[in-house]
A and B are shown apart, each in its own frame.
Chain A
Amino acid sequence: MRKTLALAFAALLAAGLLGGGKALAGTSLLETGSTLVYPLMNLWVADYQRAHGDVQITTQGTGSGTGISQAISGVAQIGASDAYMADAQMKNSPMLNIPLAISAQQINYNIPGLNAKHLNLSGPVLAGIYSGAIKFWDDKQIAEMNKGVKLPHNQIVPIHRADGSGDTFIFSQYLSFSTPSWSHGPGYGTTISWPSVSTAVGATGNPGMVQTCQNTPNSIAYIGVSFLDETNKAHLGYAALKNRSGRFVLPTASTIHAAASSLTSKTPSDERISLIFAPGAESYPIINYEYAIVNPQQGDAAKGAELKKFLTWALASNGGQQAKFLNAVHFLPLPEKIVKLSKAQIAKIK
């Protein structure tokens, strides 16, 4: 009995040690972060693997904050983030912020009878709704920009993300940039201190937002564009938003493209810039770069080389920027000039 047990322990120990010492076959990369990027990454990696069998790329949807933090600590090689890194973080740990694609966000609502219509909404009106100043759908401010629409006198239920999220970041940035009182109040970030509104509801993840909005009549929610198919399936309405030029525009490929192009020339070489509330008559106001946060000093040379190869492929027009990938999540490809900037950043990886 004793021998058997001793042997079993020895075998386990040996297995552990052998496992520990065993070298990996090929190189492995870890991508973790934004849940908006996660579906795209999955499509990318599945395809990339077919041609590049010698590299293993693991993808995780853990949230942008985790992505940035894991890229800094070296746990992950690619940290996916909906938001560029803040100055305070960059000062502690300088990282590359490499845009991979352009995403947008729609404002969804569930007003019985009106979901087939596209309501017009503006930043200040949304700020009013989310701060409790605008309580009913037939409020004067909403009615003014929706002449001819019969709005119900029902109480609005504002739904916000309860978990930390890049969606909250870009939504609150739109409110901040368009509404001074919001920028002095709650401000923007991946988690913000929402004003206390008696009807407000928190939801977890984009699926939670869709579900909550669908289940709650008279609610309003902000949802990542990769969930457009889901919100359509749930028969939610989505709004035309007032842009910097004062026009109401729907999130379409052309309005997202217009917004991105208007800020292309302003994008600095480190590519940390907000695309929110972009100038231009046709620009949709809530769009953003989806970033890969990468440490330029990749200690491991083999990992560094594979990382550069994958990121270069992701930016190639015959690689990751193909419509078959981006259309599935309703993202847009990067403008040529941004691809160049991104490639220059990739070249810095060692």
Chain B
Amino acid sequence: MALARGGVAPKTWASRSWWTLSVACLIAVIGLLFSIFAFVISRGFPALKPQLFTTVTQGTAGGLLNAIAGTFLLVAIGLALVIVVGLGTAIWTVEFAPPWAKRVIRFMIDVLAGVPSIVVGYFLYVALVEEAGWGFSLLAGALALAIFMLPYVVRAADVAFSNVPRALREGAVALGARPAMVIFSIDFPWALPGILTGLLVATGIGLGETAPLIYTAGWSNYLPSLAPTHSPVGYLTYVVWTYISQPFPESHQLAYAAAALLMIFVFVTNLLARSFVEYKTNRSR
């Protein structure tokens, strides 16, 4: 067993068997995770046909265009809301807030991150879909996603803004830069990779949410109408959850295809997020 770190290891029977056990655990866990990955890919890829991307869901089968478009639209609007609110929160926390307020805001963001998705979903269902009479709608769904994505974006932006070198800011201020200018022309460019990483992580979260959308966005076989209320929206996770329970093989195909697409989207956002992290670490060296 090659110890990657830590030089000469005195080898005893106990130590060696513990390490063996830990490697066994690693192999078991990695193996299981890989088998889930392989399951989705092997069932989903054969079901990924070109017409999935050009036609909408019809009856028991059809395409996924409506769900793909709906997923991206929901996430995009959710992100737009989150960018405004999340970056605002981070800027205020880092730049303007007194120390006690910083602590409180960071705590509230942590609390928000821990709220179970179904609680938010049920809240929005009762408050917006029923009481406010919005019906299943784009805006209700996007709000649900925004509530979930907010903590991830605020945390990332908070860290990113806090890490902007002080000397840079002080220099700018000394040269007579206005606070807004400091924020937009120094903080933002510096913090951008960190913020983008946060936004990508949030995108990944938003793409995969189901529970808060079932009773807010509803579901639609058609392309999203762009009307903010009174018009339900389709999304990929719904297809996975509902179509696997239909008594038709072609419906199951659709569920597997949707699951594979979700996996690919998550993979891509992950990859992008990593590349930003790498860009950031390279630059700071």
Contacts and interface: CB of A to CB of B under 8 A. Distances in A.
The short answer to whether A and B are in direct contact, CB under 8 Å, is: yes
Interface stretch (A56-64, A112-120, A123-131, A254-262): A56-64
Interface string B107-137: 0000000000000000000000110010110
Contact of B225 (A24, A45, A49, A227): A24
Interface size class of A (residues with CB under 8 A): 35 or more
Given A2-B185, A75-B136, A206-B247, A60 B219 contact: yes
25 contacts: A1-B185, A1-B188, A2-B181, A5-B188, A12-B80, A18-B226, A19-B228, A20-B226, A24-B227, A28-B225, A30-B218, A30-B232, A38-B246, A42-B58, A42-B60, A43-B59, A43-B60, A45-B221, A57-B221, A58-B232, A60-B219, A73-B133, A75-B218, A207-B246, A207-B247
B220 interface: yes
B246 to A, nearest CB: 6
Interface of A: 1-2, 5, 9, 12, 16, 18-20, 22, 24, 28, 30, 32, 35, 38-39, 42-43, 45-46, 49, 56-61, 73-75, 205-208, 226-227, 229-230
- Closest CB pairs A-B (n = 6): A19-B226, A42-B59, A46-B59, A2-B184, A75-B135, A207-B245
A58 B219 contact: yes
Given A75-B129, A207-B247, A46 B58 contact: yes
Interface of B: 58-60, 62, 77, 80, 83-84, 129-130, 133, 135-136, 180-181, 184-185, 188-189, 218-222, 225-228, 231-232, 242, 244-248
Main secondary structure of the interface of A (DSSP, over half): helix
Nearest to A59: B221
Contacts of A61: 242, 246
A60 B246 CA distance: 12
A159 B242 CA distance: 21
B135 A230 contact: no
A16 B228 contact: yes
A19 B185 contact: no
B247 A5 contact: no
Nearest to B66: A58
A2 to B, nearest CB: 4
A43 B188 CA distance: 53
